[in-house]
Structure 1
Amino acid sequence: MRLGVIDVGSNTVHLLVVDAHPGGHPTPDFSHKVELRLAEHLTETGDISQEGAQTLAGFVADCVEVAESRGATELLPFATSAIRDAGNTDEVLALVRDRSGVELDVLPGQEEARTTFLAARRWFGWSAGRLLTVVIGGGSLELAAGLDEQPDVAVSLPLGAGRLSRELAHDPPEPAETRALRKRVRSEVAAAQPALTKVGTPQLVAGTSKTVLELSGVEELAVCPWALREGLILRFLDGLGR
């Protein structure tokens, strides 16, 4: 089976065409993406601008044509925090649907965390033991922990790299800005920590996002090449096998 996965993120809109079947390893066939940076198309009221929405709808329509030309028989289209947190989510989704025929599935933050956890669990296997996954996206930070394929706890925080960078008034940021931002991040993560540690100490901490790859020098952090897209593919295939 050939699938076309359309991933509408805060920074990039990405079509990945993969060959996959239940119980098998998803194999990428073709990649088509653009750095749309939706989060930078926000108005003062928190809406995605008309220009940003039109550009998104046009590129999604382009993705559909590319996926069909590559032989994809199923589309898995989804969106994350940029669409989820916008003030005009419904209007943007309607525009995308009218232009492309695609109904974007807007994932809740906790669902992002759970789905990415599934991908990491399949990648590392049961031998990894109790697992903690860390995903630093453009708009949000997802954390999930557990021993099985579904995490015991999943948390989503508004601490994405792009979101935090846009809150800084200076480039490079002034020391006071950096201190204030660091204090805020530590405070919000600390508030989520009791729920994560209550389920037990992780035996493996794994990161999956591009931002995490840039931090791969952190010795305590394993890097998982599978992420949210692969998790959605696996979940779709699991459903076919039932």
Structure 2
Amino acid sequence: MRLAVLDAGSNSVHLLISEVVGGMPLPAHSLKGPVHLAEQVAVDGTVPPKAARRLAEAVAQAREQAGRWRCDRLFAYATAVVRDAANRDEVLETVRAGSGMRLAVLPGEVEAELTFRAARRWVGLQAGPMALLDIGGGSLEVAFGRGALPDFAFSLPLGAGRLTREFLPGKGRPGREELRELRRYVRATLKDVAARVRWEEPHTVVATSRMFQQLARLCGAAPGRDGPFVTRRLARTDLKEAVRRLSRLTAAERAELPGISAARCRQAPAGAVVAHQAMKSMGIDQVTICPWALREGVLLRHLEQGGQDWWPSPVLRKEGSVSGPLSGGPSTGLRPGPSAGPLTGSSTGSPTGSGSSPPVPRRLPLGRAPAD
């Protein structure tokens, strides 16, 4: 079986294609298209039409690539930057009209639960009671659990892109007062969740997301070319120094540092502040970097418990009589799955047809399909 996940995030549209071997999703191909949505959100919280059209183009390219690889199912979703946009419905309709794909919008808590699922599978039960931290462009996900699924999961408005836009605008060196205000806001927002994590006393803390990976590399962790099976850790003491180092540089100078990409050089100081304050508030001395996150969590949820009623997006069922780009023809090559093989994500021929976002419960019961 070949599965694909299309992640429309704050910085890029990322397509992950995996071959399922022995019940495990093993990466076969990856495609990333930059969109930089977080940097283009207006003061009133709207995503400009030009940025929405660029998102639609990137989604269309990713969808076409999934078709070429003849994926059995495609799970497509947008994260916080679209979920929280004041004109979310208009953005989703622009994407649908421009790409033929209806993006699901997952609640932040569900993102945290799915990411925890992936991280737990990666590190194993031997890690004991485990906490999870994931810094995205629009939100910070926090979860804790003793088993395969989290006991609790939270999503906080502490994404690196969001905070850069609100507290550290511009490409120069952040001002001392700007950083002080940012720290104060992060501490206040984290207060209740941090107290809960401290009370649980996790044995292991796992950090996912590109932001944590880049911060770990900046602080001396092995580069990505060494592969996913190299142990990578990030200490709070090293992160504290990284905050100082990043804050003394312009965005262009940060992009020259090891691990810091040009796409995230503006967001790096805010991301480092969130990471350090989260670890400090929760009493965490060190985190383990995990290469699996939300995309792998979506695939694992599907493989472990089956069914697609849990997925908050219209489902197009593949039938031989269906015509158009999703029928398995040469335009996409998407093939039908097994007998119950719906393809997640709809075409422009979706029965719903409107641009309004799919209704999503605040918290999905990931252990079973919700009742109709």
- Pick the TM interval, shorter chain: over 0.9
1:4 alignment partner AA: A
* C-alpha separation in 2, matches of 1:43 and 1:178: 22
Deviations 1:132-181 (A, max 9, x none): 00001111111100101221111111111121122214521111111111
Residue 157 of structure 1 is matched in structure 2 by 156
Is residue 3 of structure 1 aligned with residue 3 of structure 2? yes
Alignment partner of 1:221: what SS?
strand
1:182 alignment partner AA: R
1:63 alignment partner AA: A
- Which residues of 2 match residues 21-170 of structure 1 at below 5 A? 24-167=23-166, 168-169=168-169
* C-alpha separation in 1, matches of 2:151 and 2:31: 35
Alignment partner of 1:135: what SS?
strand
Identity of aligned residues (%): 46
Residue 176 of structure 1 is matched in structure 2 by 177
Alignment partner of 1:26: what SS?
strand
1:206 alignment partner AA: V
Unaligned 5+ residue runs, structure 1?
Answer: none
Deviations 1:116-137 (A, max 9, x none): 0000111111111100000011
When residues 193 and 44 of structure 1 are mapped into structure 2, their CA distance, relative to the original with a 3 A threshold, is closer
Residue 304 of structure 2 is matched in structure 1 by 238
* C-alpha separation in 1, matches of 2:214 and 2:301: 28
Residue 190 of structure 2 is matched in structure 1 by 189
The structure whose residues are more often helix, as a share, is 1
* C-alpha separation in 1, matches of 2:50 and 2:169: 25
CA RMSD of aligned residues (A): 1.7
Q: Contact 1:48 / 1:88 at 8 angstroms: preserved in 2?
A: yes
Offset of 1:188 from its aligned partner?
A: 1.3
Alignment partner of 1:117: what SS?
helix
* C-alpha separation in 2, matches of 1:137 and 1:59: 19
Offset of 1:31 from its aligned partner?
A: 1.2
* C-alpha separation in 1, matches of 2:215 and 2:123: 19
Q: Who wins on radius of gyration, i.e. which is larger?
A: 2
Deviations 1:47-98 (A, max 9, x none): 1111111111122111111111012121010111010010111111122222
Q: Contact 1:153 / 1:196 at 8 angstroms: preserved in 2?
A: no
Offset of 1:43 from its aligned partner?
A: 2.6
Choose from 294, 299, 310 the match for 1:228.
294
Q: TM-score, normalised by structure 2?
A: 0.62
Q: Contact 1:20 / 1:26 at 8 angstroms: preserved in 2?
A: yes
* C-alpha separation in 2, matches of 1:10 and 1:169: 16
Q: Contact 1:153 / 1:195 at 8 angstroms: preserved in 2?
A: no
When residues 40 and 27 of structure 1 are mapped into structure 2, their CA distance, relative to the original with a 3 A threshold, is same
Alignment partner of 2:24: what SS?
coil
* C-alpha separation in 2, matches of 1:153 and 1:163: 24
Offset of 1:213 from its aligned partner?
A: 1.3
* C-alpha separation in 2, matches of 1:158 and 1:30: 31
Alignment partner of 1:46: what SS?
coil
More moved, 134-143 vs 178-187: 178-187
Alignment partner of 2:147: what SS?
coil
* C-alpha separation in 1, matches of 2:137 and 2:187: 18
Q: Contact 2:23 / 2:303 at 8 angstroms: preserved in 1?
A: no
Deviations 1:97-122 (A, max 9, x none): 22222121111111111110000111
Q: TM-score, normalised by structure 1?
A: 0.93
* C-alpha separation in 1, matches of 2:27 and 2:204: 27
Offset of 1:239 from its aligned partner?
A: 3.0
Alignment partner of 1:215: what SS?
helix
1:88 alignment partner AA: N
